[in-house]
Amino acid sequence: MRNIQKLIAAFLFTASIFAGEIYFCTNDIGKMPLLQGGRVKPLSVHAKESIKHLTGKSKIDGLSAPQIYCLLSASAFGMPNKLNLKTRIEHKDTRKLLDGKTEMSYKDLLDEQRTIRTAWMRIKDETSAKKDLNRLMAKIALYQDIASASNWTIPQYTGNKISWIPLAAFLTEDKVKAAKLSGGNPFEKLFIDAKNEYIKIDGDLFLLEYKYDQMQLMKIAMILTLIALAALVLFKKFAIALGLSVVIVVLQTAFLALRVYISGRAPVTNMYETVLFSGYGGLILAMIIGHYKKEKTFIYMGLAYNLCCLMMINFAGSMVNESISPLVPVLRDNFWLSTHVTTIIISYGALALSWVMANTIIVKKFFSKLTKADEIYYNDLIYTSLKYGTTLLAAGIILGGVWADYSWGRFWGWDPKETWSLIVLCIYIAILHGKYTAWIPAHRFAHLIAAAFMSVMMAWFGVNYILASGLHSYGFSEGGAIFLGSFFAIQTLVLLITFRSSKQTKA
């Protein structure tokens, strides 16, 4: 590597290497293909995920994530940079271990590795402190992996197939010298050659993913949803809201279609995708029901719910991870994924519409009044959403049972995910039955529906974020659990505050 370093000094545009130099790390480096996490993807996507994971940011000192990733890798060859990546020290016990610091640079953390490892080994139980140390060690290991030029893999054509080698092994003195002979920047030439060779053999799907990632369609969709909702609620412009809803659906369809094309599977395999799909499905369902029922409020319900979902996928990156990762073998069946999971997720969307309406009713009643006829009318809109929600959920659960029967040989196994979806169905069915008894009067219906949606959140997020963590994770220490806990707390608070006002109806 030392020889490479000398060579680099010779090839750089300036006579001496200085720390502000970006070497070959232009923004175009993001278009390189790279194999990581079991999948070929553009460097830009992997760099964004890695740098965000390490620092919580995707841009530092005007440098983009691919550039930071590239410069960090280049430092393995002795190319200095001004980067000083830092991470937050989350847990109070970890802070205590590291002299009370709340933020530390990775360069300092490398020196503390032994201390951290020792502390980690000393904690016997799976406490939140141990988990935090575990995460910190993983981050330091990733940093080291990138900074030693081992994380960045480059395709190499050998023996008529592509093999992937780390940058540390790719940039050899011989190669750089040979590339120099043909003139120009030798590094860029090496990278471009490697990329072109890869495209010739395996195609350029990763470049499509590069564009998909750059377009930031879901940010646009979120802003449009916000505008549409404002047009409807604040300015009472239904036509604008409807027009924008169509545009949003088109955007989300395009985004999902690209994602399906890139990943080669139905877009319902992780939290990010289900949240996105549920909001999208909810909006479409609301538009269809609204059209047939001739009721504009459905558009409001659909937009409001879609906004919640879009905000989650844009702002809650630590909880709903947008990366496309390989699936566990048992889920690799597009037929069942696209029938069972989509049905369940759309049913959650339909139930969410009822949740939006229910909360709107109780808030409306708290701040102003609702006539008895209107209360019954709007309860009926909730009921309409519930009809779709429960039917789809029942169908989804059955499809899940059939899939399980087909691939595991059992229709039902009391697995927490399937059990919770049945709990959700039972709760809504109990409410639908209770509606005909004296137990649930009209003025309590909306309250119950708003509360019932907490079961959906439990089935959807809770099973993954609370139940899956199991014993000894006391804690609402992780992102998902904090989100869910806050959701339950706020919803409960809203219900408690508005409970007294629920009886007030104008005659």
Partner 1 sequence: MNNLYTKVERTVGGLKFAVFIILLFSLMMTIGTFVESYYGTDFANRLIYKTPFFMGIQFCMFLSILFATFIRLPIKKRLHGFYVIHTGLITIGVGSFVTYVAGIDGTIHLPPLTPTRQIVLNEDVIEVVMPDHNKRASVKLPYSAMATDLDIQYADVKVTKFIPFAEKKLSWQEEMNPTTSPNIHSTKYNVANPNVAQDFILSLHPEAFDFKASLTMGLLNITYLPKAMAECFTKQSKEKLILWNSVESTCSTTEELGIKVQKTSTGKRFFAIKNDKTVYSFLPDISPWAMDADLKPITNAPIRVFSMNLFEEKPHLFLFGKSAAFYDKDEDKWIFEKFDSKGEMDLPWMGFTLSLLEHHEKKVPTYIPEETLPIQKNGALIKGDYKAARIKIRDKEYWVTSERPVSLLIDGKKVTVYLTKRSFMLPFEFTLANFKMDKNPGTNSPASYESFVDLFTDKGTSRHHIYMNNPLKHDGFTFYQASYSQDRETGQYSSTLSVNVDQGRVIKYLGSILLVIGSIWHFIINGRTRRKENDILGLDPKGDNNA
Q: Kindly identify the residues of this chain, within the stretch 300-329, that bind partner 1 according to CB under 8 A.
A: 300, 326, 329
Closest distance of CB 467 from partner 1, Å: 4
Closest distance of CB 194 from partner 1, Å: 16
Strand ranges for 7-82 from DSSP E: 33-36, 39-42, 59-60, 63-64
∠ CA 295-299-302, nearest 5°, is 130
∠ CA 404-410-414, nearest 5°, is 85
> Left (φ > 0), alpha (ψ -120 to 50) or beta: where does 56 sit?
left
Binding-site member from 370, 446, 449, 484 for partner 1 (CB under 8 A): 370
Considering only the stretches 86-94, 128-136, 307-315, 377-385, report the one whose residues sit in contact with partner 1 under the rule CB under 8 A: 377-385
Indicate the residue among 34 and 284 with the shorter CB distance to partner 1: 34
Helices and strands in the chain: count of H runs, count of E runs: 21, 8
Binding-site member from 183, 436, 500, 507 for partner 1 (CB under 8 A): 436
> Are residues 232 and 297 in contact, defined by beta-carbon separation less than 8 angstroms?
no
| Residue 235 near partner 1 by CB under 8 A | no
| Residue 411 near partner 1 by CB under 8 A | yes
Sign of torsion over alpha carbons 405, 406, 407, 409: positive
Closest distance of CB 503 from partner 1, Å: 18
The residue type at 468: A
| Residue 264 near partner 1 by CB under 8 A | no
CA 230 to chain centre: 26
The C-alpha atoms of residue 224 and residue 229 are separated, in whole angstroms, by 8
Task: Tokens for 417, please give them.
Answer: 């995910």
| Residue 227 near partner 1 by CB under 8 A | no
Task: Tokens for 61, please give them.
Answer: 């000192």
Task: Tokens for 117, please give them.
Answer: 């490892």
Binding-site member from 433, 493, 503, 504 for partner 1 (CB under 8 A): 433
Which one, of 141, 137, 132, 139, lies nearest residue 92 by Cα?
132
Indicate the residue among 207 and 376 with the shorter CB distance to partner 1: 376
Site for partner 1, residues 78 to 137, rule: CB under 8 A: 118, 121-122, 126
Closest distance of CB 399 from partner 1, Å: 9
| Residue 427 near partner 1 by CB under 8 A | yes
> Are residues 146 and 76 in contact, defined by beta-carbon separation less than 8 angstroms?
no
Closest distance of CB 94 from partner 1, Å: 18
Binding-site member from 3, 102, 391, 492 for partner 1 (CB under 8 A): 391
Considering only the stretches 2-10, 88-96, 141-149, 406-414, report the one whose residues sit in contact with partner 1 under the rule CB under 8 A: 406-414
Binding-site member from 50, 153, 347, 501 for partner 1 (CB under 8 A): 153
Task: Tokens for 204, please give them.
Answer: 């350029």
The C-alpha atoms of residue 102 and residue 91 are separated, in whole angstroms, by 9
Per-residue contact string for residues 34-73; x = within reach of partner 1 by CB under 8 A: -xxxxxx---------------------------------
Closest distance of CB 174 from partner 1, Å: 25
Considering only the stretches 128-136, 264-272, 312-320, 405-413, report the one whose residues sit in contact with partner 1 under the rule CB under 8 A: 405-413
Q: Is 26 exposed, middle or buried (0-12, 13-18, 19+ CB in 10 A)?
A: middle
The C-alpha atoms of residue 393 and residue 354 are separated, in whole angstroms, by 14
> Are residues 306 and 282 in contact, defined by beta-carbon separation less than 8 angstroms?
yes
Binding-site member from 288, 442, 467, 493 for partner 1 (CB under 8 A): 467
Indicate the residue among 173 and 333 with the shorter CB distance to partner 1: 333
Pairing, β 103-105 against β 153-158 = unpaired
Site for partner 1, residues 160 to 219, rule: CB under 8 A: 164
> Are residues 265 and 326 in contact, defined by beta-carbon separation less than 8 angstroms?
no
Q: Is 185 exposed, middle or buried (0-12, 13-18, 19+ CB in 10 A)?
A: middle
∠ CA 463-467-471, nearest 5°, is 170
Indicate the residue among 20 and 409 with the shorter CB distance to partner 1: 409
The C-alpha atoms of residue 213 and residue 233 are separated, in whole angstroms, by 32
Task: Tokens for 125, please give them.
Answer: 């139980």
Closest distance of CB 178 from partner 1, Å: 27
Binding-site member from 18, 261, 315, 377 for partner 1 (CB under 8 A): 377
Indicate the residue among 183 and 470 with the shorter CB distance to partner 1: 470
Site for partner 1, residues 280 to 299, rule: CB under 8 A: 290, 294-297
Site for partner 1, residues 20 to 39, rule: CB under 8 A: 35-39
Closest distance of CB 409 from partner 1, Å: 3
Indicate the residue among 1 and 467 with the shorter CB distance to partner 1: 467
Closest distance of CB 463 from partner 1, Å: 7
| Residue 474 near partner 1 by CB under 8 A | no
Residues touching partner 1, count (CB under 8 A): 79
